[in-house]
Amino acid sequence: MEVRGGNRRGTGHLRRVMNYRVDLILAEEQRNATVLNPRSISRIAIMLLVLVIGYVVFRSVYGFVNLQREVSWLQERWDGSGPMSQKATQVRDALTLNLGTMDELKGWKESRLDWHTQIQPLEQVVPVTIQLFTLTMQQTLTTETGPARSALLIVDGRSVGEQAGENVERLKNVFETAPAYSGLVKRVEVPMFTADTTPGASKADRRFRIQSAYTERHFR
Amino acid sequence: MKLPAAKSERVKIYVLIGIGSAGVLYAVWSVGISTMLEKQRKLVERRTELQENVQKAERKIGLMRGELDETIRTLQTICDETDKYVIRSTLGDNYLLGVTEKIEQMARTAGVTIDPPTQVGISDVPQSAQRPSKNILKLYTARVSLACGLSELVRFLRQIDTSSPYVCVSAISIAGQPESPETHRITIDIQWPSWAEKDTAEALKRQLAEYRGMRQ
């Protein structure tokens, strides 16, 4: 036990007063009475840290478990829809292929030409002063602007009389402008126009060739 | 447990506890948390992948019914058209027998007399450079010769042209005959579609039956 004493001087007259404070607690047992002291702060801090770590760990584990559940649910959906999806892919591929085949069939229809409509007008339009020797039409398959049918119509003949040139020109115009050929023929030429040298021909008679190139008709 | 009375001893113990806790935390991190995070990263990747796959699959499945119907319609049209208009070989590679019958029928209808048709050959339709795809049809060409006037020829050509939307006159040669000005010597090349692969027609029918079965 420790006894401490002291005196205090008053003013005016001398007065001796004795004060004693008695500490009944040992020095090493003495504690700070304030709530906020370094020890309590550090305890609170440690508890908060533990709580925060615990919360983070809990959230992570909870999230992880949820994620696992979600993945396994998605996997089940995928396992269920996978085979059906493969069938759907197969159907789509087949559709693409078959639409290609339809295009091919359409191309066959669109690339052809009704030749009776091209020959028929010749019966009416060829003047009596023109005699046709040969008519040839040759169709070729081209690929320059995509697969297409391209035709060339060649007419060889003789034009008799003084108007031979005009008659050939008129016939050429028929191939250029007659409704049966319009939109189908892209170019008409007369690559040959010469004197007719066959026996019996007059000086004014001419041999000619008219060549009509048809517009390419595409397969696709 | 009581902590030692001496402050320096207590500090040592606190330091030891701190070091120990840090070690334990590190061990927990490296063994548990980081492994879990790594797994989590992989799971997130897998989830994204699965979500995309499932979405795509469900979209495809959603469209499948319509596409299946369209496939069946398309196949049916192809089968109907090709059954009617694509020529078939008889006894091996003989297409001529079949087309001779057709040509003779057309000639009879047009009222012209023809010579026996001959075979020119089978050729490929050129491929499109923009859309290269295997063609299922080839060109079969036969030649027919006859002697007739222009009106008869036009009638015969009309018969050929209207016999099929796929048949194509690929060459015509008309030569006048001085001894008989009203009658011309005529040669006509006619093209029909023929199968590039002989079993295509059967394969298309099998496919049609398969897709019909899938719809039910």
Residue A125: CB atoms within 10 A of its CB come to 15
Q: Give the pLDDT means over successive 10-residue stretches in chain B (216 positions).
A: 78 90 85 83 94 89 89 95 91 87 95 95 81 81 94 95 95 89 92 91 93 85
**C-alpha span between A63 and A76 (Å, rounded):** 20
Q: Which two tokens stand for residue A132?
A: 């046709």
pLDDT at residue A156 in the model? 94
Asked if residue B133 lies in contact with residue B90, where contact means CB atoms within 8 angstroms, the answer is: no
Nearest CB partner across the interface for A147, out of B50, B71, B128: B128
Would you call A128 exposed, middle or buried from its count of C-beta atoms within 10 A (0-12, 13-18, 19+)? exposed
Q: Containing H/E element for A122?
A: helix A116-125
pLDDT at residue A19 in the model? 79
pLDDT at residue B186 in the model? 95
Query: Whose CA is closest to B192, among B100, B105, B77, B75?
Result: B100
User: Residue-wise pLDDT tens for chain A (220 aa)?
Assistant: 444 444 544 454 555 667 777 777 777 777 767 777 777 888 899 899 889 988 988 888 898 899 999 999 999 998 888 888 888 888 999 999 999 899 999 999 999 999 999 999 888 888 888 988 999 999 999 888 788 999 999 999 999 988 899 999 999 999 998 999 988 999 999 999 999 888 888 888 999 999 999 999 988 7
pLDDT at residue B115 in the model? 95
Cβ pair B36:A61 closer than 8 A: yes
Q: Which residues of B touch A98 (CB under 8 A)?
A: 71, 74-75, 78
pLDDT at residue A124 in the model? 83
Nearest CB partner across the interface for B74, out of A63, A102, A132: A102
- In B, minimum Cα distance to A88 occurs at B64
Asked if residue A95 lies in contact with residue B67, where contact means CB atoms within 8 angstroms, the answer is: yes
Give the mutation candidate from A39, A62, A91 for the B interface (greatest B CB count, under 10 A). A91
On whether any CB of chain A is under 8 Å from the CB of B97, the answer is: no
Q: Which residues of B touch A149 (CB under 8 A)?
A: 168, 170
Q: Which two tokens stand for residue B148?
A: 């007739």
Cβ pair B54:A61 closer than 8 A: no
Query: Whose CA is closest to A175, among A217, A136, A118?
Result: A118
Q: Which two tokens stand for residue A217?
A: 């008709």
pLDDT at residue A1 in the model? 44
pLDDT at residue A15 in the model? 58
Query: Whose CA is closest to B206, among B64, B98, B78?
Result: B78
Distance separating the N- and C-terminal Cα atoms of chain A: 117
Q: Containing H/E element for A78?
A: helix A38-111
**C-alpha span between B169 and A117 (Å, rounded):** 12
Q: Which residues of A touch B82 (CB under 8 A)?
A: 105
On whether any CB of chain B is under 8 Å from the CB of A95, the answer is: yes
Q: Is A115 helix (H, G, I), strand (E, B) or coil?
A: coil
**C-alpha span between B74 and A102 (Å, rounded):** 7
Cβ pair B36:A147 closer than 8 A: no
Query: Whose CA is closest to A117, among A147, A142, A137?
Result: A137
Q: Is A139 helix (H, G, I), strand (E, B) or coil?
A: strand
Domains along chain A? 115-218 (3.30.980)
SS3 assignment for chain B: CCCCCCHHHHHHHHHHHHHHHHHHHHHHHHHHHHHHHHHHHHHHHHHHHHHHHHHHHHHHHHHHHHHHHHHHHHHHHHHHHHHHHCECCECCCECHHHHHHHHHHHHHHHCCCECCCEEEEEEECCCCCCCCCCCCEEEEEEEEEEEECHHHHHHHHHHHHHHCCCCEEEEEEEEECCCCCCCEEEEEEEEEEEECCCCHHHHHHHHHHHHHHHHC
* Beta-sheet pairing, A148-159 with A130-142: antiparallel
pLDDT at residue A14 in the model? 54
Looking at the predicted complex, does its ipTM rise above 0.90? no
**C-alpha span between A210 and A188 (Å, rounded):** 7
The CA distances from residue A27 to A30, A31, A129, A207, B176, in Å, are 5, 9, 148, 144, 144
On whether any CB of chain A is under 8 Å from the CB of B92, the answer is: no
